[in-house]
Amino acid sequence: MQRRTVLAGLGASLFGGIGTAFAQGYPNAPVKMIVPYSAGGGIDAVARLMAQGLGEELKQNFVVDNRAGAGGMLGAEAAARAAPDGYTVLLAGNPELTITPSLHARMSYAPLTDFTPVALVSQSPNLLVANASLGAKTLREALDAARKTSGGITIGTPGNGTPQHIAVELMRSQTGLDIVHVPYKGAAPATVGVLGGEVSFALVGAPPLLSHLATGKLLALAVTQPKRSPLVPAVPTVGEALGIMRDEDFVAWYGVLVPARTPAEIVQQLEKAAFAVLQRPDTRTKLTALGTDLVAMRGKEFAERMRAETKQYGDIIKRFAIKAT
């Protein structure tokens, strides 16, 4: 019995030493950063900013690998199945990490158990906008004006099962208004839809809207989060505008994760490097230019947020029987 105890202790010590030694030499080869969306989008821009910064901090190349498809699930699955050695990291958003599990009965990965969160980088507000031709200055006025038109109140979103779709369902329930959800295939088409008058409103992330807000073609009426966004501080929350959805936080966020069972020492190195990037004086400015607010949340708190948000979205999806397609 004593011999077994000694051997077990030696084994634990040996493997612990190997893990530590491995982490001390990390990274000694390029690191792949999987982004589960196509190049050129908002999350891709954030990923490239982080990849460059992490590479500078850790003295090794971080190579962005765009794995688009299935609403972010293909890229997330690839990261979940990767070796947990620190040479594959994932920069992903809340749709594939906290919403998808409640929309699909069968999934090839489990976000809460297949990943270890490293750092929550930033979040983009979802803006409820209307065409300036509607002639309203507040959300309440705009809803009243749209209600009186032949098309009624129609809100375009990037698609079924998105955070914006979920926010629309909750808004319809809490206002009692006859709101029609119009799913588009992405934020850009939804923006074009409200610009062209296909829908009376659009609820999408900030990046594709900023130029149209600057020219006055679109009017920002509210953000779907508890507090105003530093990106658009003059825009009220839905809670301020209508007295509803005061605690719900429907934003698009972007975070760095690694496959579960990645050695703790490597996770710590990545977190330290990520925070060194996020604390640089120019990082906030660069993120703002991309239409997203700096968050800089550490891995432990990021994991807690994922768990809480998964439950929140799951409850709403079940309540309103929301489908992915």
pLDDT at 307 over 50: yes
Q: Which pLDDT score is estimated for 69?
A: 86
pTM of the complete model: 0.85
The SS3 assignment for 322 reads coil
What Å distances lie between residue 235 and 20, 67, 226, 238, CA to CA? 49, 34, 12, 9
pLDDT in tens, 162-175: 899 999 999 999 99
pLDDT in tens, 33-92: 999 988 887 889 999 999 999 999 999 999 999 998 888 899 999 999 999 999 999 999
Q: Helices 163-175 and 299-320: crossing angle, nearest 10°?
A: 50
Q: Domain segments of the chain: what residues? A: 2-124+251-320, 128-242
The SS3 assignment for 297 reads strand
In whole angstroms, what is the distance from residue 145 CA to residue 2 CA? 81
The SS3 assignment for 149 reads coil
230 confidence band (pLDDT: 50, 70, 90): very high
The CB density around residue 325, as the number of other CB atoms within 10 Å, is: 8
Structure tokens that stand for 21 in this block: 């030694």
Strands 115-131 and 251-259: antiparallel
Q: Which pLDDT score is estimated for 240?
A: 97
Spatial CA neighbour of 204 closest among 42, 35, 325: 42
The SS3 assignment for 85 reads coil
Q: Which pLDDT score is estimated for 41?
A: 78
Q: Which pLDDT score is estimated for 8?
A: 44
Question: 128-242 is classed in which CATH architecture?
Answer: 3-Layer(aba) Sandwich (3.40)
Q: Which pLDDT score is estimated for 12?
A: 47
132 confidence band (pLDDT: 50, 70, 90): very high
Strands 153-157 and 293-298: unpaired
The SS3 assignment for 43 reads helix
Does the domain at residues 2-124+251-320 carry the CATH identifier 3.40.190.150? yes
The CB density around residue 62, as the number of other CB atoms within 10 Å, is: 23
Helix %, strand %, coil % of the chain (to 5) = 50, 20, 30
In whole angstroms, what is the distance from residue 184 CA to residue 188 CA? 9
Beta strands in 132-246 (DSSP E): 153-157, 179-183, 201-205, 218-223
In whole angstroms, what is the distance from residue 70 CA to residue 174 CA? 31
- Does the fold of domain 128-242 match that of domain 2-124+251-320? yes
Amino acid letter, 20: T
Structure tokens that stand for 319 in this block: 């309540």
What Å distances lie between residue 60 and 24, 28, 32, 52, 108, CA to CA? 14, 7, 11, 10, 31
